Amino acid sequence: DQQVKQNSPSLSVQEGRISILNCDYTNSMFDYFLWYKKYPAEGPTFLISISSIKDKNEDGRFTVFLNKSAKHLSLHIVPSQPGDSAVYFCAASQNAGKSTFGDGTTLTVKP
C-alpha cells in the first residue's frame, strides 16, 4: 500500500524550460508535504514544503502546488538548470511525524 506515488520515474527537459514533477497521495490525513533533492551517494536535501492549508508555495525558481481534492501535488522548476539534475522525492507527513516518501523522479536537464 504505497501512500505516496511518483508515477514518472524520469523526466528530461531542456535548460531554461520548465520542469514539472508530479506526486499523488492516498492518505487524506497527510497535512504537510515536502520535496527533497538527492544527488548520488548523498543524503536527501530539503527543497521546499507546503502545508495542507495552502495551495501554493514559492521559493525562487521552485514552486509547489497542492490540490487537496485531487490529492495531488506538483513541483515546478523555472527556469531549469543543468545543476538541477538529480532525483526528486516527494514526501508527506501527518502531525509533523515521520515522512512517507515516494519512489522518486530522476530529472535530467540538458544544456
Partner 1 sequence: NAGVMQNPRHLVRRRGQEARLRCSPMKGHSHVYWYRQLPEEGLKFMVYLQKENIIDESGMPKERFSAEFPKEGPSILRIQQVVRGDSAAYFCASSPGKRSTEAFFGQGTRLTVV
The residues of the shown chain that bind partner 1, judged by CB under 8 A, are 4, 6, 32, 34, 36, 41-46, 49, 89, 91, 93, 96-104
- How many Å apart are CA 24 and CA 100, to the nearest integer? 12
Closest CB to partner 1 among residues 74, 106: 106
- How many Å apart are CA 10 and CA 71, to the nearest integer? 21
Closest CB to partner 1 among residues 34, 77: 34
C-alpha cell at 23: 506526486
Q: How far is the CB of 55 from partner 1 (least distance, A)?
A: 18
Q: How far is the CB of 44 from partner 1 (least distance, A)?
A: 5
Q: Which amino acid is at 43?
A: G
Residue 25: burial class (beta carbons within 10 Å; 0-12, 13-18, 19+):
buried
Q: How far is the CB of 5 from partner 1 (least distance, A)?
A: 10
